[in-house]
Amino acid sequence: MKERIRASLVFVYKLLDLAGLAFALWLAFYQGGPEGFDYVVQAAVSPTLETSMFFTGVLSSWAFILSSFWLYRSKRLANWKDEFVDVLRAVVFCTLILATLILLAEWRVFPKRFLLIFTATSFAILFLIRLFKRSLLKQFRLRGRNLRSVVVIGAGARGQKIVELIRENPEIGYHFAGFVDDLNVPGIIGNLSQIPQVLAENVIDEVIICLPIKTFYDKMESIARTAEEQGITVRLHSDLFNLKLARAVPGEIGEAPILSLYTTRLSEWQMFLKNSTDFICASVLVFILAPLMFVIAALIKLTSPGPVLFIQERVGLNKRRFKMFKFRTMVVDAVEQQKNLETLNEANGPVFKIKNDPRITPIGKWLRKTSLDELPQLFNILLGDLSLVGPRPLPERDFQKFNKLWFNRRFSVKPGITCIWQISGRSETSFDKWILQDLEYIDKWSLGLDLKILFKTIPAVLRGTGAM
């Protein structure tokens, strides 16, 4: 009975989605211009074979796309961000299908606003439907409805933690049916040798395996096969190696299931949002600051011989090398002179800093004090090598002097123009603290943190704190 009800609800769910897309299409016709509105009215009043085939093709292709993108699978363990990405992908493909069918139908009335209105409206409707569904299901589950019976295999620390999380998050809708393990602890409903009988004789919707993989690999494979034979969903506790930082994300290579362990907090949609923000902001800043950069370039050219830009290879994301741009603040042969100045280095750790560096030009000292020498790095952002906020990219010389492997985790995200180090004393900060600040940024990343760092960078630069 429950499966029939679920199937009926999913069918209604699909109809709501198609109705939402149809409304978005109508609104796009209506707002796209009078010609578009006349077209849809004419198609409704006196449909032709061409218009009937067009709208039938649109709706049927949309239904296929929505199902293909798994919009109707169980999202019990997904969050609203996952829903956001799934809906966005589906709507983009629906828009492409619509545009393709319009071209095939040779519809010449194609207002510029049409696809934009359809995409924005359909995304908003489909996403709001899912937010409403999530809210509704949450209330049902909190009242003891729409629950799934779950058996946890493994009553050790991992299993106990999972049960604790199930009880702390009742909105997920899991009913803990008991443990299966050879341990003698409360809640055991069978031992490991009895798993086929336990699954066969009890109402069980899902199995969560929380056994140590090193000791129980063969047993885990047997459990998965047994559950598969009985049509029961298997979930594997992905903290396989007791790692402190990495988060596990499932995926596939072809038909092979893959579990990925990420040490950064950024998901795909967060990475997309961060990269998009970087590109848009850098483009605007380049446009606004172009006159200032032109003046600085002229001053450099007039006050010292040599090129305007200093281009140096830096170590970027995952230790990939890239050419970083800065306004030149030193004499032309500054890199060669550094070998003779190593004994004067005032910074601890691998970095090289001298307060009264003899290589700096008069205009260069002012540029460094105001951090205006960093402006060409906006072009590095447009090229995709840098971000607005992230760990500062280090020269090859500094990287080669790393003496601790954990320093390298700072390369797990794209480097940036500014970061916590930039607003916390800059050159006055010790190298180890600098690295710890970079790792703090990686572990606590959010768009709000990026904005906070950007706003705090401005007064830090104006004060010139710690600048060398």
Query: Tens digits of per-residue pLDDT, 409-419?
Result: 888 889 999 88
Query: How many C-beta neighbours within 10 Å does residue 436 have?
Result: 17
What tokens does 373 get?
Answer: 């020498």
Q: How many helices (H) and strands (E) does the chain have?
A: 15, 12
Helix (H) or strand (E) holding 108: none
Helix axes 49-68, 34-45, angle to 10 degrees: 100
Q: What is the DSSP string of 394-451?
A: EEHHHHHT---GGGGGGGGS--EEE-GGGGTTGGGS-HHHHHHHHHHHHHT--HHHHH
Give the best-scoring range by mean pLDDT among 41-55, 234-248, 414-428.
Answer: 414-428
What tokens does 26 get?
Answer: 């109508």
**Is residue 153 predicted with pLDDT exceeding 80?**
yes
What tokens does 273 get?
Answer: 């949002």
Which residues touch 154 (CB under 8 Å, ≥6 apart)?
A: 179, 180, 181, 209, 210, 211, 212, 216, 237
The CATH label, of 3.30.390.10, 3.40.50.720, 3.40.640.10, 3.40.50.300, for the domain at 148-262 is 3.40.50.720
What's the whole-number mean pLDDT along residues 31-48? 62
Q: What pLDDT, on the 0 to 100 scale, is given for residue 462?
A: 63
26-40, 287-301, 365-379, 381-395: the lowest-pLDDT one: 26-40
Find the radius of gyration of the CA atoms of the chain: 30
Residue 446 sits at the vertex; the CA angle it makes with 443 and 448, to the nearest 5 degrees, is 140
Asked if residues 375 and 293 have their Cβ atoms less than 8 Å apart, the reply is yes
Q: What is the DSSP string of 148-217?
A: EEEEEE--SHHHHHHHHHHHH-GGG-EEEEEEESSS--TTEEE-GGGHHHHHHHS--SEEEE---HHHHH
Give the best-scoring range by mean pLDDT among 36-40, 63-67, 315-319, 337-341.
Answer: 315-319
CA distance 374 to 40: 55
Q: What pLDDT, on the 0 to 100 scale, is given for residue 242?
A: 62
7-11, 117-121, 270-274, 316-320: the lowest-pLDDT one: 7-11
Confidence grade of residue 289 (pLDDT, cut at 50, 70, 90): very high
| Every domain range in the chain assigned CATH 3.40.50.720 | 148-262
The phi, psi pair for 91, rounded to 5°, reads: -65, -40
DSSP state of 354: -
**Is residue 250 predicted with pLDDT exceeding 80?**
no
248 forms beta bridges with 261
Q: What pLDDT, on the 0 to 100 scale, is given for residue 346?
A: 64
Burial category of 72 from C-beta neighbours within 10 Å (exposed 0-12, middle 13-18, buried 19 and up):
middle
CA atoms within a 13 Å half-sphere pointing along the CA-CB vector of 56: 7
Confidence grade of residue 266 (pLDDT, cut at 50, 70, 90): low
Digit-coded pLDDT (tens) for 182-206: 888 888 998 888 888 888 888 888 8
Bigger pLDDT: 167 vs 345: 167
